[in-house]
Structure 1
Amino acid sequence: MATYDDIGGAPAVTAAVDMFYAKVTGDPSLAGYFEGVDLARLKGHQRAFIGAALGGADGYSGRDMGAAHASLAITDADFDAVVGHLADTLAALAVPGDTIERIGAALAPLRADIVTRPAVA
């Protein structure tokens, strides 16, 4: 069974995306990334991406992660904060810990494409 089904399919992904964006847009260190962004459109892309990444039937047809994030100057700390908010969201939705770990493992390789600003020494 795919992780997508384990967490409850499309309704669970929708709930997770909505809660996740409430967390990231409410985080002062991340909120600036979302100023002027069409959140409804972004949430749609995120639902499709997460669904596909977790083994859902619908595929993701958006831009690749590098292209989508290239102009944002995202740091490792920003990436870690976003992943932390996602893990917190999934835990709040009673997703089992081993499933959250699988999702985290699937996201880890994306760091190289998403992080574009080196850490300040």
Structure 2
Amino acid sequence: MSLYERLGETAGIRTAVDDFYRRVLGDPELAGYFEGVDLAGLHSHQTDLLVQVTGGPAGYTGRDLAAAHQGRDISPEAFDRVVAHLVATLTALGVGEADIGAVGAALTAHRDEVVASETAA
């Protein structure tokens, strides 16, 4: 069984994404990163991306992670808070530790594409 299936396929992933963004947008240290962002579009793209990277049908048509996060000046601490919210979401939804670890590892592999470069001026 794929991670996609264990997460409840598209419906389960959509539920996780909705809960995740409620947590992130409710975090005063993260909410500012989402000012002026099309949240409905973001939810849709995030769901499609997670469906695809967890073994579901390919459907993601958004920008690559580096382009999507360019200019947002995301700090390492903000990235870590986002990951913590995702872990809390998956835990609350009853996802097993091994699957949470797999999702966390997938995110961490893209950290350098999301976090602002310290050498940027």
* Distance (whole Å) between structure 1 residues aligned to residue 106 and residue 95 of structure 2: 16
Whether 1:51 and 2:51 are equivalent positions in the alignment is yes
Does the alignment pair 1:14 with 2:14?
Answer: yes
Q: Equivalent residue for 2:103?
A: 103
Structure having the higher helix fraction is 1
Q: One-letter code of the match for 1:110?
A: H
Residues 117/28 of structure 1: CA separation in 2 closer, same or farther (3 Å cut): farther
**Following TM superposition, where does structure 1 have runs of at least 4 consecutive aligned residues deviating by more than 3 angstroms?**
none
Task: Tell me the TM-score normalized by structure 1.
Answer: 0.93
- Taking structure 2 as the reference length, the TM-score comes to 0.93
Q: Cα distance, 1:58 vs. partner?
A: 2.7
Unaligned runs of 5+ in 2: none
- Report the identity percentage: 47
Q: Distance in 2 between matches of 1:49 and 1:62?
A: 8
Aligned length: 118
Residue 59 of structure 1 deviates from its aligned partner by 3.0
Long gaps (5+) in structure 1: none
